Amino acid sequence: MNTLPLALTVNGVARTFAGDGDTPLLWFLRDELALTGTKYGCGIAQCGVCTVHVNGAPVRACQRRMSTLAGATITTIEGLHPTGDHPLQQAWRAMDVPQCGFCQSGQIMQAATLLARTKTPTDADIDATMNGHLCRCGTYPRIRAAITSAAEHAK
């Protein structure tokens, strides 16, 4: 066991992790910080359900080890907007995107990185960015429409 203390920032709050460095970020977020918006899906970084931002980049939290996060800034779905009113969150609600909702926090976090770098994404941009994010309910057309709507309203 590789026990270590490290400092990081989660959703704007300074945090300390003192545990096994091999612990996945997902379990630190869910079990120690009670940030349960980030879900466990496949556990092998293939579905995208656990996507969060690490230093502004999308990362699969199920595979990111705590030992790699000293000084990192982490943003989860709970930290995307203080009241849940990020343009993507608004568009998701307005367009009734979720069916079961399980994958949606990962979908939104991935889409947020697209909108941060591309103000007017094309369908090809959306497809390329969202590739690998699985939705068991098949709400992909609504996901694309919500991303497009959020981009239009964020201008």
**Domain CATH number, residue 60:** 3.10.20.30
Residue ranges in the chain modelled with pLDDT below 50: none
pLDDT at 34: 98
Q: Are residues 20 and 37 in the same domain?
A: yes
pLDDT at 4: 77
Q: Are residues 18 and 61 in the same domain?
A: yes
pLDDT at 29: 98
* Widest pairwise Cα distance in the chain: 49
Task: Please report, for residues 50, 52, 103, 123, the alpha-carbon distance to residue 64 in angstroms, rounded to integers and kept in the order given.
Answer: 10, 10, 18, 29
pLDDT at 88: 97
Asked which of 32, 51, 80 is the last residue of a domain, the reply is: 80
pLDDT at 1: 63
pLDDT at 77: 98
pLDDT at 80: 96
Q: Are 77 and 105 in contact (CB under 8 A)?
A: yes
Q: Residue 41: give the domain boundaries.
A: 3-80
Q: Are 121 and 65 in contact (CB under 8 A)?
A: no
Asked which of 80, 115, 136 is the last residue of a domain, the reply is: 80
Q: Are 74 and 53 in contact (CB under 8 A)?
A: yes
